[in-house]
Amino acid sequence: MNFNFDFLKSSKSMMMLSVVLVAASLIVVVVPMLTGGGLPFGLNPGLDFTGGTQLRLQFEDNVTTEAVRNVLSSVNVGATDLSSSTIQEFADLENTKSVRMQLTDEDDIDRVVRDMQDAFPGVQVISREVIGSQISKELVSSGWQSTLLVLAVILLYLTWRFQFRYALGAVVALVHDVLIALGVFAILQVEINLPVIAAFLTIVGYSVNDTIVIFDRIRENLNAQRKGNPYELINTSLNQSLRRTVHTSLTTFLPVLVLTMFGGSVLFAFAFALLLGVLVGTYSSIFVASSLVHIWTKRASA
């Protein structure tokens, strides 16, 4: 079955949509950081990046989040205000809550546990995870360095393998994918931790793989018909690659969707990041990266 869709016809509207989505993502991600978190959105970093302690508590009976917060607010741990701690429930674990606190001192953590046991007899500490501030700073630095290094290597490789215009289009599409995924995470307040960073790097790899396949077909057709119309040749290349793109994206999307829905709270953030990456990555490979190559090719041949 041969496809004959005019993808580039809607490239302007799709590019405008991408600009709007990226701008919205920057607003909900960057502005709260600049204003000190005064807005309802902003990234929700996990303990991997903020430092502190996460307690997973299992109660004998159903306990409200407000009751747990009231106990935290009454614990005397110096100047630290535990009433602002993050308390989350686990949909797959009955009567279980996760408490994230800005505490690293073992004595203070023990005091919190004792007060919880006094207020809620029979409560059990399922897990106790402590990450120091120095480690969290190193993780933040390593995360950014890894992402920037990957983008730089991809830019250099694609410039050598194809041309700079292809490399630039691919990197713009990758940044587009990651920013939109971060924006969704900021709006929904999904916690960002090390597995999520791994998922974002996976998004980069997945998206560039799909983009390279399309670029290879575009370059092949442009080289074979040097005097042909770039608009028609790029559209033809996209249609020739469409079957492979749809099959690859669908076979990746379905298992990731199942993992997101039924993988539980531990895997949710990781699987959700991959789910966004598959959707946005497929879109950007067709409408963002290819449109940028068309614009550059058209100007170069003018």
Query: How does pLDDT run across 167-219, given as a tens digit for each residue?
Result: 888 888 888 998 999 999 989 888 887 788 888 888 888 888 888 888 888 88
Neighbours of 11 (CB within 10 A): 21
Residues 96 and 59: beta-carbon distance below 8 Å: yes
- The Cα–Cα gap between 46 and 61 comes to 27
Enter the CATH code of domain 52-131: 3.30.70.3220
Token digits of residue 281:
């990555």
pLDDT band at 62 (very low <50, low <70, confident <90, very high): confident
Give per-residue pLDDT as tens, 2-35. 677 888 888 889 889 999 999 999 998 888 777 6
Residue (of 194, 199, 209) closest to 46 by Cα position: 194
Question: What Å distances lie between residue 221 and 212, 241, 254, CA to CA?
Answer: 14, 12, 32
CATH topology of domain 135-300: Multidrug efflux transporter AcrB transmembrane fold (1.20.1640)
Residues 169 and 218: beta-carbon distance below 8 Å: no
Question: pTM of the predicted model, to two decimals?
Answer: 0.77
Give per-residue pLDDT as tens, 95-127. 888 888 878 788 888 888 898 898 898 888 888
Residue (of 75, 158, 89) closest to 117 by Cα position: 75
**Where are the chain's structural domains?**
52-131, 135-300
Neighbours of 109 (CB within 10 A): 19
Residue (of 44, 40, 47, 86) closest to 65 by Cα position: 86
Token digits of residue 43:
């990234």
Give per-residue pLDDT as tens, 124-148. 888 888 876 566 567 667 767 777 7
Give per-residue pLDDT as tens, 227-257. 778 889 889 999 998 888 888 889 989 999 9
